[in-house]
Amino acid sequence: MQPSRGLPPPAPANGAIYHTYRSDLSQVRALVLQQARQAGLTEGKANDLVLAVSEVAANTLRHTRSAGTLAIWHDGHEIVCEIRDEGTIADPAAGTRKPPPGASGGHGLWLVRQVCDLVELTSNASGTTIRMHMGLRPPGAPG
């Protein structure tokens, strides 16, 4: 989990599904759940990914006035959800420290980093890209 201020990572692989959102996060969550199930994530992992993507998309609504874009793709090893928006996250390590119990903010990115297998965060003046990776369990592996 290396936070970076560099250029955004390369565009998603072919076969990604794209969705633009401005206000409806329920639609975002439904799409992630459907794709996560289709990729073969367990129900628990699928719900984790839904929470992570929803938290990041909520930040788009909170901190920008423009739409965000969700891209989802998967291969045999992992499913990746990428959110791009025009917001800027000043602290690339945001969410790496646990907020104190009862804190009135700061839980969103903490949760994202807790539930995902890998989080890549790239932010600069032109926008933020956050990629959330979730590993697929190999065929035949338990649980």
Partner 1 sequence: MDLLTTSVATVESGSEPYTLVELVGEADVTNSDALREVLDAEVAKHPRTLIIDLSGLRFMDSSALHVILRANRAMDRQGGVVALASPRDPVAKMLRLTAADQLIPVYATVSDASAG
53 touches partner 1 by CB under 8 A = no
Show the binding pattern over residues 78-117: x = contacts partner 1 (CB under 8 A), - = does not: --------------------xx-xx-xx-xx-xx--xx--
Is residue 70 within 8 A of residue 83, CB to CB? The reply is: yes
- Residue 126 near partner 1 by CB under 8 A: no
Q: How far apart are CA 79 and CA 51, in angstroms?
A: 15
25 part of the interface to partner 1, by CB under 8 A: yes
**C-alpha distance from residue 50 to each of 16, 27, 46, 104, 124 (Å):** 17, 11, 6, 22, 25
Residue 23 makes contact with partner 1 by CB under 8 A: yes
35: contact with partner 1 by CB under 8 A:
no
Pick from 80, 81, 52, 79: which is nearest to 136 by CA? 79
Cβ-based nearer residue to partner 1, 8 or 59: 59
